[in-house]
Amino acid sequence: MSFTQDVWQRNHALYQATVQHPFNQELAAGTLSREAFIHYVIQDAHYLLAYGRALAVIGAKAYDADSVIQFTEAAKLAIIVERSLHDGFMADFGISKEDFEAAPLSQACHHYTSFLQATAWAESYPVALAAVLPCYWVYAQVGNDIVDQSVANNPYQKWVDTYVSDEFQDAVTKVLATIDALAEQADAATVEKMHAAYTRGAELEWVFWDSAYRCEQWPLLQDALKPA
């Protein structure tokens, strides 16, 4: 059994919880609240910048020239997509540049991006790649699983179309092939660290969507320090 087959089986219940999350189900039905989607888009733009940085570090650690190109190009694409959000979804939903810049990272986004960047810097190439894999693979699978549920004139159709596009699906297929080849060459301890990194990343994918659905805000320390 390949690494990707094994890691998918181990985390199947987690994936089902993700695709069945109200955020994704309501997004497909076109009933997701505008507020939740705006929260998501702003946090996703913050996330993609950090994701691009993690991919750049992974590219620097890659073992061969093709993989260096694969992940440094992916880092570039993440930044391009982050910028396109300003002219795409943000413009469509009336999110100004000032609104975006004034919005801090949510707790979920801060946790997820910190995990990815710390793992990219501190861990080996195979483990770091396993940590970023859920952002590729889970998004591709969610897109595939909800596209047929998407209603006519869905205000969120452009989001669904992004992740079922041939370009994105092909990129995911290439990453899966790369990580399977790495796992075949890795020792047992490294493979288990890869599993742990993937699972934590997949958990944080669920947390990220749940945070957006709840329009999560940081608690105010001033309020917490007020005497009862």
Three-state SS sequence of 126-139: HHHHHHHHHHHHHH
Dist CA 190 CA 186 (whole Å): 6
Amino acid found at 80: I
Least confident of 19-23, 118-122, 127-131, 147-151: 147-151
Q: For the chain, how far is it from start to end, CA to CA, in angstroms? A: 57
Least confident of 46-50, 121-125, 164-168: 164-168
How far are the Cα atoms of 3, 172, 207 from residue 31, in angstroms, in the given order?
Answer: 37, 28, 20
Residue pair 88/155 in contact by the 8 Å Cβ criterion: no
Instruction: Report residue 219: phi and psi, to 5°.
Output: -70, 145
pLDDT at 57 over 80: yes
Q: Buried b / exposed e across 105-120, counting CB within 10 Å, b at 16+?
A: bbebbbebbebbbebb
Q: Residue 168: how many CB atoms within 10 A of its CB?
A: 18
pTM for the complete prediction?
0.92
Residue whose entry in the numeric block shows the structure tokens 């089986």: 9
Least-confidence region, from 80-89, 99-108, 192-201, 207-216: 80-89
C-alpha distance from residue 43 to each of 64, 105, 118, 209 (Å): 33, 6, 19, 10
Instruction: Check pLDDT > 90 for residue 84.
Output: no
* Fold type of domain 3-215: Heme Oxygenase; Chain A (1.20.910)
Residue 105: pLDDT over 70: yes
Give the model's pLDDT for residue 210: 98
Q: Structural domain boundaries of the chain?
A: 3-215
CB neighbours of residue 85 within 10 Å = 17
Average per-residue pLDDT in the chain? 91
CB–CB of 180/70 below 8 Å?
no
pLDDT (0 to 100) of residue 77: 84
% of residues, the chain, pLDDT over 90 = 70
CB 204 within 8 A of CB 105: no
- Confidence (pLDDT) at 82: 65
Token pair 């997701």 is found at: 32
